[in-house]
Structure 1
Amino acid sequence: MPEIRVLGFGMGPQHVTPEVATALGECDYVLAVQKSDDDALLAARRAVCEAHGVELVVVRDPERDRSPSLDRAGYEGAVADWYAARLAAYRAVLAERGGVCGFLVWGDPSLYDGTIRLASELGVPFDVLPGVSAPQVLAARHRIVLHEVGQPVHVTTARRLRSDVAAGQRNLVVMLTAGVDLDGFDDWTIWWGANLGGTGERLVAGRVGSVAGEIRAARTAAKAEAGWVMDLFLLRGPEA
């Protein structure tokens, strides 16, 4: 029976931990999807595989219906169909090749990533090894602690930001930030980063009302340099 190893790899070869490096050496191959002809995220996985001498097996990511006319039910159905097609593609490779298969996960598998759920649905034994997460690198780059003394930090997504703030959260790490709206947060403090530890890394910190334009420009520059952008930020409310 095939086995799966879900391996967090941070942002590239420079973030691969000794534990993950050992696990890669025990893999017969790494399985990944290609989302486009010039998939820069696949290129990063390829670099990790080349650095550790493991074969990369690539399957084309199934097409997903992204029609703007889809209603909620249609959208959910399209996502379900796409997910089922991706599972089928993975199952076909596992059935053909068997052995120990690695899945390389950006950052750490525990944060806003579906690979663990996917591995569990493939119905074969799997284990998970952690990687360097984006919030860890964000804190290190800005030389900060994510929480204030004796206080919590709330990890959320841009889509939930306003509802979480309305519920009383005042110190938030915000991920999945595409299209985030910071209107109304002018007096909050932000520590923002993009492509942390990789090509196109950018950092901005300060009062939101003063640096919002700088963040937009830095995000654009990061995407232009790397061909993609992954950003996140710590947002902290003013003292009462």
Structure 2
Amino acid sequence: MSVKRLTVIGIGAGDPDHLTLQGAKAIAATDVFFILDKGEEKSDLVRLRHRLIEDHAREPYRIVEARDPERDRTTPAYTEAVEDWRERRAALYLRLIDEALAEGQTGSFLVWGDPGVYDSTLAILERLPGFEIEVVPGISAVAALTARHRVSLTSVASPLHLTTGRRLSEQGPTADDMVIMLDARCAFDGLDDFDIYWGAYLGTPDEILIAGPVAEVGERIKRERAQARERKGWIMDTYLLRRR
């Protein structure tokens, strides 16, 4: 008996050329693409997905779009809010797959960056039994960041800690080299014994890159981050902290 196949395809950090040959082949082998709309503010994210499908998909194929469930970003119960959002997203995925994907067909989710780095798609699909799932890695925001700054991600004999702005704010520095994802709090503020390599909208025409000692460029990052978020309505940023 044939089963429904799901492919999670990493599409890179924002540049259409980030798509790998493996990713292009996976798009070409897809029957149904599932795309979640996050609202007008983040329409850039949807447009890139449509462009990659137009460039690499093979007829006949279908695109199924739905509105992404809202997550409660006001509650202090962060873990519970994320769990609730994942449960509602899993229910939405299951409904879309049941309605749009036939037995023996392949449905794909195009994931920003790399599916294995700071993304919830795999954790959500794991809640849905009975499907064959394949993962195609992509160029992560972390890889794009270090490439654009022309710097190595790791130092000799030094551990690397990948964490969030929320955790850095709560715990402080936990290693000499740290990658911080999505830091609305600008938790680097005051870490004057670190250099920072910061980037937002990596790989897109709106890309912003700033690097230097935190004491010298921290205020500029905060200012440009706030202005960019006000201008676009959203921001995705990543940075590397390295103790001086």
What percent of counterpart residues are identical? 39
Say whether 1:18 aligns with 2:25.
no
Are 1:195 and 2:204 matched, yes or no? Answer: no
| Counterpart code for 1:217 | R
**What's the CA shift for 1:12?**
4.3
> 1:49: which partner in 2?
53
1:195/1:222 contact within 8 Å kept: no
Give the partner amino acid of 2:48.
Answer: A
Partner deviation per Cα, 1:47-92 (whole Å, 9 max, x = no partner): 22222235431111234455x4x563xx655544433332222112
Match of 1:116 among 103, 108, 122: 122
Q: Distance in 1 between matches of 2:63 and 2:192?
A: 46
Displacement of 1:94 in angstroms is 1.1
| Aligned equivalent of 2:182 | 176
- Residue 185 of structure 2: SS of its match in structure 1? coil
- Partner in structure 2 of residue 96 of structure 1: 99
Divergent runs of 4+, >3 A: 63-66, 75-82, 162-167, 220-227
Partner residue in 2 for 1:137? 144
Per the alignment, residue 6 of structure 1 pairs with 8
SS in 1 for 2:183: coil
Contact 1:200 1:221 in 2 (8 A): no
For 1:105, give the aligned amino acid.
V
Residue 162 of structure 2 contacts residue 180 of structure 2 at CA under 8 Å; is this kept in 1? yes
Q: Residue deviations 1:74-122, cap 9 Å, x none?
A: x655544433332222112211222211111111111111111112212
State the shift of 1:175 in Å. Answer: 0.9
SS in 2 for 1:183: coil
Unmatched tracts of structure 1, length 5 or more: none
Which range moves more in the overlay, 119-128 or 56-65? 56-65
Q: Which residue of 2 aligns with 1:29?
A: 32
Cα distance between partner residues in 1 of 2:198 and 2:191: 14
* TM-score normalized by the length of structure 1: 0.87
* Cα distance in 2 between the residues matched to 1:166 and 1:223: 26
Question: 2:87 and 2:206 mapped to 1: Cα distance?
Answer: 34
95-104 vs 37-46, greater mean Cα deviation: 37-46
Task: Check 1:82–1:233 CA distance in 2 against 1; reply closer, same or farther (3 A cut).
Answer: closer
Say which is worse superposed, 124-133 or 174-183, in terms of deviation: 174-183
Q: 1:174 is aligned with what amino acid?
A: I
In structure 1, distance between residues paired with 2:40 and 2:232: 15
Stretches of structure 2 that go unaligned for 5 or more consecutive residues are none
